[in-house]
Amino acid sequence: MEFSLSTDVVLITAACTAAILLGGIVKGTLGVGLPLFAVPLMSLMIGSTQAIALVAAPVLASNIWQAWQEGSWKASLKRFWPLMLTQGIMTVLAVQWTLSFSVKQLNMLVAFAVVLAVVSMLFKPSFSIPPDKEKWIGALVGVLSGMLGGVSSLMGPILISYTMSLKMQRDEFVGAISVIYLNAAWPLYVAMYSFGRMETVDLGYSFLALIPMALGLKAGQKLRHRLSEDGFRKALLAFLVFVASLLVLR
């Protein structure tokens, strides 16, 4: 059966809307995972850079909301400024570095980032960082997460592993990771727009994506106390491995 162009557009729009809705559910359930879920899934249907652009407004809005809720802006900025500084610089450099990459190459990078995320979440690396070494190790983490974020937007695995190693309380962790995510996201999107990898029309679609994201986030928050987090996480990891395999074979 042949589809017209308009039908294809409708199908792709519906699929991307569903991906962002499900990504919101993941974030509402686990507290993280919106771009980790939505970007690789949408990359099966549209270009990776367009998929990254579509989650711009949802990522910024959800992390601003979380950081505002926890009221941790000043403390997080003071504590993690070396990480945020090196992360922002490397993000811009990574975006510039990948300007000449083909869609296939970008998809491979996204697939690699997804596999890295799965390994990180599956094995849950456990280590502690002494307070006197936190700033320089944080700066190194910023370099690595900036490189990964600039090519795929999926800087989460490295940041989560690092912040968990600091043994913070739950509320402190959520507030800190939200501020760090936020300061990772805006350099990425500014660089993409400046280098022509994101257009004004993409921003418009991204703002529309706030609707399914908000619905998914609310549903995920309700599911959080009804589902086993361990079971949900395992199902999510299995799905991400499947999506990463499809990206490699695409």
Taking Cα atoms as reference points, which of 192, 226, 203, 95 lies closest to residue 150?
95
List CB contacts of 163: < 8 A, sequence separation 6 or more: 173, 176, 177, 180
Look at residue 229 and tell me whether its pLDDT is greater than 80. no
pLDDT band at 170 (very low <50, low <70, confident <90, very high): low
Let me know: does 44 contact 247? Beta carbons within 8 Å.
yes
pLDDT band at 172 (very low <50, low <70, confident <90, very high): confident
pLDDT (tens digit per residue) in 43-67: 888 888 899 999 999 999 888 877 7
Taking Cα atoms as reference points, which of 199, 225, 191, 250 lies closest to residue 54?
199
pLDDT for position 3 = 44
Look at residue 75 and tell me whether its pLDDT is greater than 80. yes
pLDDT band at 83 (very low <50, low <70, confident <90, very high): very high
Look at residue 1 and tell me whether its pLDDT is greater than 50. no
d(CA 239, CA 169): 30
pLDDT band at 118 (very low <50, low <70, confident <90, very high): confident
Look at residue 168 and tell me whether its pLDDT is greater than 80. no
d(CA 216, CA 36): 15
d(CA 159, CA 144): 9
Look at residue 127 and tell me whether its pLDDT is greater than 80. no
pLDDT for position 249 = 66
pLDDT, mean over the chain: 83
DSSP state of 167: T
Parse the chain into domains and list their residue ranges.
5-249
d(CA 234, CA 192): 33
pLDDT for position 187 = 93
pLDDT band at 126 (very low <50, low <70, confident <90, very high): low
d(CA 174, CA 9): 37
pTM of the model: 0.82
pLDDT band at 166 (very low <50, low <70, confident <90, very high): confident
Which has more confidence, 174 or 23? 23
pLDDT (tens digit per residue) in 133-145: 888 999 999 999 9
Least confident of 73-82, 111-120, 179-188: 111-120
Which has more confidence, 87 or 165? 87
